[in-house]
Amino acid sequence: MNVTRRKLWATQLARHAAEDRELLRRATAERQAAEEALRSAKEREDLVALMATASGTALSKAEAWLSALDEPLAEGETGVADPVAEAVPCSQPRVSVAAVIQDFLRMQVEATYAEIKDEVGKMRPDVKAENCARDLNRMVKRGILTRPRTGSYRLAVKESEPVRS
């Protein structure tokens, strides 16, 4: 083989190798974009599943409430709940502030600090509701909650955890 032919052959091989490297780079970029799109779609699906669960729960509670309004009242009943009876739990164990926050966010999907503070005040009147910021920060640091926006909180969904039951 003469020198010119070898140089031509080496040049062609180098060009093919460069083209193949470029094809590999593009394929890798396409795969990474597809993985990101899949991850985003899974997050959206999880969020919508939580929303569907929350709205279904709200619907069933509203239907129960409406059906209770349709029932005739017994003699002596006013139809208004006794606030003293509701405020004093009957030998029930206390629920932690973190558990109150998690239960509330399971129903709401996403809530502002003010909504969470109001819920903590209702569920735990013995706790100063303004102090729930400490619990919220701890839960965010532990990965239990996320902050989608300033002042808003949402339960963190891990990919390994099933969202639907």
- Domain region containing 107: 95-159
In degrees, to the nearest 5, what angle opens at C-alpha 7 toward C-alphas 2 and 13? 125
In a domain, 102, yes or no: yes
| Helix H or strand E segment including 149 | none
Long-range contacts of residues 144-152, Cβ cutoff 8 Å, at least 24 apart: 144/98, 144/102, 145/101, 145/105, 148/110, 151/112, 151/113, 152/110, 152/111, 152/112, 152/113
Give the other-Cβ count within 10 Å of 7's Cβ.
Answer: 10
In a domain, 7, yes or no: no
In a domain, 135, yes or no: yes
Could you list the pLDDT tens digit for every one of the 165 residues in the chain? 688 999 999 999 999 999 999 999 999 999 999 999 998 888 888 888 888 888 888 888 888 888 877 766 565 565 555 555 555 555 556 778 888 888 888 888 789 999 989 988 888 888 887 778 888 999 999 988 999 988 899 988 765 555 444
pLDDT tens digit sequence for 63-89: 888 887 776 656 556 555 555 555 555
Rg (CA), the chain: 29
In a domain, 148, yes or no: yes
Tokens at 67, concatenated: 């059906």
In a domain, 71, yes or no: no
Counted domains in the chain: 1
Tell me the C-alpha distance between 52 and 165, whole Å: 12
Q: How many CA atoms lie within 13 A of 92 on its CB side?
A: 11
For residue 150, what is the domain's CATH number? Answer: 1.10.10.10
In a domain, 76, yes or no: no
**In the prediction, which pLDDT does 165 show?**
40
